[in-house]
Structure 1
Amino acid sequence: MRKKLLFIALAVLVSGVSYSQNANSDEPDFNHWSIDAGIGLTKPYRNMAPGYGTATPDFLSGELGARYMFNEFFGVKAGLGYNNFQEKDGLMDFTTKQYQFDVQGVVGVGRLLHFETWTQTFNLLAHAGLGVGWLDYDNISDGDHVGTAKAGFTGMAKLSDRVSLNIDGSMGYNGRQNRTFDGRVTRNDEPFVFTGTIGISYYLGKNETHADWFVRGDEYAALLDSRIAALEEQIQKSRAEDAKKVQEGDDKLNTRVDELDSKVDGLSNKEVDMIEQLINEGYVNIFFDFNSSEIDKGATDAINVLRTYMKKNPGVNVNLVGYADEKGPEDYNKKLSTKRAEAVADVLVKAGIEKSRLNTEGRGEDTSVDEGSPNARQLARRVTFSIR
């Protein structure tokens, strides 16, 4: 375990530095520097005297460092770390503080895995490296000078162009640690330390973005292509759904028309006269949504009433008069009211009424309603009928 951690720390550190030496000097403009800080929990692993221990996890762990990214993929950071190991609720209380300084290589895993193809809000960094540390035991005057190795992952969420929220999980190893973490006896096992912190990165520089969130031109083009393809797929799906809804609406209207066909011949003269009276007195209307000439599915009842009457009276012609509310320019409302009347006429023609029997007219704004009342304006957006 110790050898693996040392190897990972050294490999990541060396790879970051070596990559920077081979990097193209012609790099695009982005910010390289950031200040990283975090605070959280810690847990020493295994290396304790018999009877001693700490909470799982224990408070407090902290870190403060400066990071330099050579590009969006590799960088290096130097930092100060602090861990407080303690037990204060038992018979064998102790407090040990660890201070350390390390240098680590950083890999932008999120950029390597092309997170930008699905998000530019989240990123993931891997880091590993070597350092030195000092353990201060509360029961002895001499502390422990140790060599350290550390590796971990940092999840990032972009808050702004200057700040990101970070959650880090790391594992460290203390080489040449002479005593247990409680400081009581000579070390009897491999001393590992786990830490978990939450913090921020503050980006320095004059450019708009930092290497953590930078996307190269060719990659950005690929990103746009993928998103355009996704949008096109969504549009095609939406069109198919709209076509299905239109077909369902037509089928429903045809069904209602067929039902009325069987009832028209059975209407009495008195019932026909009643329908005529309802139409001429303005009880039969088609209402519209704001700034729309699209007929709502709920309007089929009113249209079928008019169609029923006209089928029963083939010599009758009808005026279709459209209105709009007082919102918007007068000329626009005049055209909108005309479109509404023509939309109703088109439905009647499709339902079997001769176009020559229908006269459409748009009268624009209906000033008879209260402009300040939303409900009144809804009544203004309509098509009315009159028999001629």
Structure 2
Amino acid sequence: MSTVLVIGAGGVSSVCVHKMAFNADIFTSIHLASRTKSKCDAIAASVKERAGQDVSTYEIDAEEVPAMVNLIRKVQPSLVVNLALPYQDLPIMDACLEAGVHYLDTANYEPKDEAKFEYKWQWAYHDRFKEAGLMALLGSGFDPGVTSVFTMWFKKHKLKTIRQLDILDCNGGDHGQAFATNFNPEINIREVTAPARHWENGEWVETPAMQVMTEFDFDAVGPKNAYMMYHEELESLTKFNPEIERARFWMTFGDEYIKHLTVLQNVGMTGIDPIKYQGREIIPLQFLAAVLPKPETLGETTTGNTNIGCIATGEALDGSGEKTFYINNICSHEAAFEETGNQGVSYTTGVPAMIGSAMMLSGTWIGDGVFNMEEFDPDPFMDMLNQHGLPWQVKELDGPVEF
């Protein structure tokens, strides 16, 4: 029996729970909790209809550690899967330690009052998890997550060392909205508006947000403008691959998205500092997130594909000199919706969350302490991507891609 407790009830959680239910031989008992139980109930109803499996639901404030501990002890899961907001990572990890259960998430901790993405807070938990004989797996989404596994697959099968690494995240989908985000609006906008950083020659180089842009022709999507920004897997990838000279992250945005975001920034709606309004404090970005379309509602109208992958240049394993390889996944928004009722961006994160959970529950990936995806054998994870809706392909390029 493998019992799992999933925290959070957004689009990623919906995909993850559906995929767990489709794999009942691994996930024999699924429990789902969030601040809004009705969202959990809606996911459970869909899972019952699509997979014929029951999902138990609960109301929980994930920042209330004693309440989380009580829920974990009630459910007695083998694993807690944190698909809530990044602000809630540390209290959920605290609850897992107190209740004695393994932990997994898809995004690293971020303080509420600062758009700062770093692993240091979670890496600091390593000794406590190790001493407790527990495992915490960080960043088991697509980026971070699959992109880290892709990179380590290069290191195992293609490249002795990696000199340059570029991660390219393209959402070529169209949801018909003037402005909407395909994952949590608050997190999305905090990421996009933060200064860009990339790794070059042993140090971080910072540039203003959305100032460095290139055009790239993505298979199954076409030419898109991609903007350099900071993403958390750059920190772990350069830690575990210290030979990397340059590592960058690129994400595509349409002109309409950029136009609306610029206006919202200019009028102060993306701010994260509290302001007074009618005698009470509100945070502008949280208010904006409340009025924007919810990502989990976009699936029915979203068409097109995502294309996410890594381009790596380095010394070939076979001794044939320097080579460049490109590995990526193409995901159909329509196919994702047909299978799980969610759009492709949620799908590309929810499926790896399920696979990471399966790696832990099966003992394929095992250890005491806090771990990143780069620290484990990529092959079994890559095999499950092919089996569960995120097939990948790899090709050799003529040479390094210069942006």
| TM-score after normalising by structure 2 | 0.21
More strand by share: 1
Which of the pair has more CA radius of gyration? 1
Higher RCO structure, 1 or 2 (CA under 8 Å, sep 6+): 2
| TM-score after normalising by structure 1 | 0.21
